[in-house]
Amino acid sequence: MKKIEAIIRPSKLKAVQQGLKDAGIPCLTVLPASGSGLQKSFTKIYRGTEQSLTLQQRTMIICVVSDENLDKCVDTILDNGSDGQVGDGKIFIYNVEDAIRMSSRVRGNEAIH
């Protein structure tokens, strides 16, 4: 099993979510995130004062998938969450030792399906 953490633009969330659902990967967790990467800071006018901001607002999507679904999940996120521009985001992939569905105590791959 693999854990995928994808940091994307908030405007891409609905497209990524629908793409994952269409690919048969409907289970995900979504968190608001802010951070900085290769994208430069930007200025914003707030209450008449210009402010320089370095943290961009992003959305983090977390999916745990079987090894067989890893490439399908990553490709779906890339296809639906990227414009090919600096600031599109990042994808991180981790190994997952085990998963347990709390309601039925089912373990392993069965717990994530």
Q: Where are the domains of the chain?
A: 2-112
Q: What SS3 class is residue 85?
A: coil
- Confidence (pTM): 0.83
Cα–Cα distance for residue pair 28/106, rounded to 1 Å = 18
pLDDT in tens, 51-85: 666 778 899 999 999 999 999 999 999 999 999 88
For residue 84, the number of C-alpha atoms closer than 13 Å in the C-beta half-sphere is: 0
Q: Does domain 2-112 have CATH number 3.30.70.120?
A: yes
43 beta partners: 52
Cα 96 from Cα 60, distance rounded (Å): 18
According to DSSP, residue 16 is labeled: H
